[in-house]
């Protein structure tokens, strides 16, 4: 697998002869990718916090895996009836 420096060199080589406008587009896209990664990570954390709070509020924490499996099977059976 390539090292971070090898990737950076590859990017520099690829953009070296591009016009300034295209280089600016690449910079903006890189900024977008960084923002997207941060946003997605934040959304996952927020969802996890929401799910944990819901489980506490509804008492789901006391359910075993077998309880959950039984509930799912019952719901599926009811949907197919």
pLDDT tens digits for the chain (81 residues)? 678 899 899 999 999 999 999 999 999 999 999 999 998 888 888 888 888 888 888 888 788 889 888 988 999 998 887
Q: What ranges make up the beta strands (E) of 1-81?
A: none
- Does some domain include residue 7? no
- Does some domain include residue 19? no
Determine the Cα–Cα distance for residues 65 and 81; give it in Å rounded to an integer: 25
pTM of this structure = 0.50
- Does some domain include residue 17? no
Burial label, 63 (beta-carbon count in 10 A; 0-12, 13-18, 19+): middle
Number of domains in the chain: 1
pLDDT at 18: 94
Determine the Cα–Cα distance for residues 81 and 20; give it in Å rounded to an integer: 64
pLDDT at 30: 93
Structural domain that includes position 38: 25-80
- Does some domain include residue 13? no
Helix (H, G, I), strand (E, B) or coil at 1: coil
- Does some domain include residue 48? yes
pLDDT at 23: 93
């Amino acid at each position: 697998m390539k090292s971070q420096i090898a990737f950076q060199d590859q990017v520099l080589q690829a953009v070296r002869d591009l016009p300034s406008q295209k280089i600016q587009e690449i910079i903006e896209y890189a900024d977008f990718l960084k923002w997207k990664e941060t946003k997605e990570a934040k959304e996952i954390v927020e969802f996890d916090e929401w799910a944990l709070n819901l489980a506490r509020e509804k008492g789901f924490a006391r359910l075993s895996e077998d309880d959950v499996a039984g509930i799912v099977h019952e719901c599926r059976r009811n949907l197919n009836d």
